[in-house]
């Protein structure tokens, strides 16, 4: 089985700031969310957990699996989508014509600029991760947990479910919501 989990809340989530690759830690609410996710997942026998190395995801993974002998393996390909110069922007939807908003509102017509990552780049790195790490382990019958981020998780969900770019955000979940993919 394959499960995916988005990290717990951060102060930037609460302030509606774009985090991207900016390494923001969990806030107290995020830690509580991760503890609740640990209770929800307590009866699932994971063989391995892959996590983004960004602290909000890694801390979530550690809290969820804190009393279990399950390896947590960090992989840079699981980092959040890079939003370039737009990282740290607060309430972008309140800014008329802010270019990063197309990423969320009209992904088909989104063009990465100012150091932001494109969908093609995101799909390439997460696709490589799936092919190299996840699919071989699934063929062995392993139960896997991936702890990541909103856009990065949507990329994995889109590839597994076969969503086109217009439906990219259909895979978005709330913070710390455990989802079984396969």
Q: Is position 94 within any domain? A: no
Domain membership of residue 70 (yes or no) is yes
66 catalytic per annotation: no
Which residue among the candidates 7, 59, 87, 149 is catalytic per the annotation? 7
Establish if 41 belongs to a structural domain: yes
Instruction: Please indicate, yes or no, if residue 63 is contained in any of the structural domains.
Output: yes
Q: Is the pLDDT of residue 27 over 90?
A: yes
Number of domains the chain contains? 1
Identify whether 140 is part of a domain.
yes
Task: Tell me how far apart the 2 most distant CA atoms of the chain are, in Å.
Answer: 50
* Torsion angles phi and psi, residue 17, rounded to 5: -100, 140
State the residue range of the domain holding 73. Answer: 2-87+99-180
Q: 151: closest CA among 133, 128, 125, 132?
A: 125
Q: DSSP letter at 107?
A: G
The pLDDT assigned to 96 comes to 85
Q: Is 96 helix (H, G, I), strand (E, B) or coil?
A: coil
Does some domain include residue 120?
yes
Is 93 a member of any domain? no
**pLDDT 10s digits, 85-139:** 999 999 999 998 899 999 999 999 999 999 999 999 999 999 999 999 999 999 9
Q: Which of 32, 40, 80, 90 is catalytic?
A: 80
For residue 92, tell me if it sits in a domain. no
pTM: 0.96
**The CATH number of the domain where 65 resides is what?**
3.40.50.1240
Q: Work out the pLDDT band at 4, boundaries 50, 70, 90.
A: very high
């Amino acid at each position: 089985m394959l499960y995916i989990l988005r990290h717990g809340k951060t102060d930037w989530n609460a302030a509606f700031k774009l985090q991207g690759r900016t390494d923001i830690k969990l806030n107290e609410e995020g830690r509580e969310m991760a503890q609740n996710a640990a209770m929800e997942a307590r009866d699932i026998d994971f063989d391995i957990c892959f996590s983004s190395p960004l602290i909000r995801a890694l801390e979530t993974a550690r809290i969820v699996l804190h009393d279990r002998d399950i390896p947590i393996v960090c992989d840079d390909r699981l980092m959040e989508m890079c939003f370039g110069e737009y990282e740290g922007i607060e309430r972008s939807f309140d800014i008329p014509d802010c270019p990063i908003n197309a990423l969320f509102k009209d992904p088909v017509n989104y063009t990465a600029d100012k150091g932001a990552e494109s969908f093609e780049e995101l799909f390439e790195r997460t696709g490589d991760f799936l092919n190299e790490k996840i699919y071989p382990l699934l063929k062995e019958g392993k139960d896997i947990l991936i702890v990541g981020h909103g856009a990065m998780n949507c990329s994995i969900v889109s590839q597994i479910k076969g969503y086109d770019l217009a439906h990219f955000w259909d895979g978005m979940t709330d913070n710390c919501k455990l989802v079984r993919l396969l």
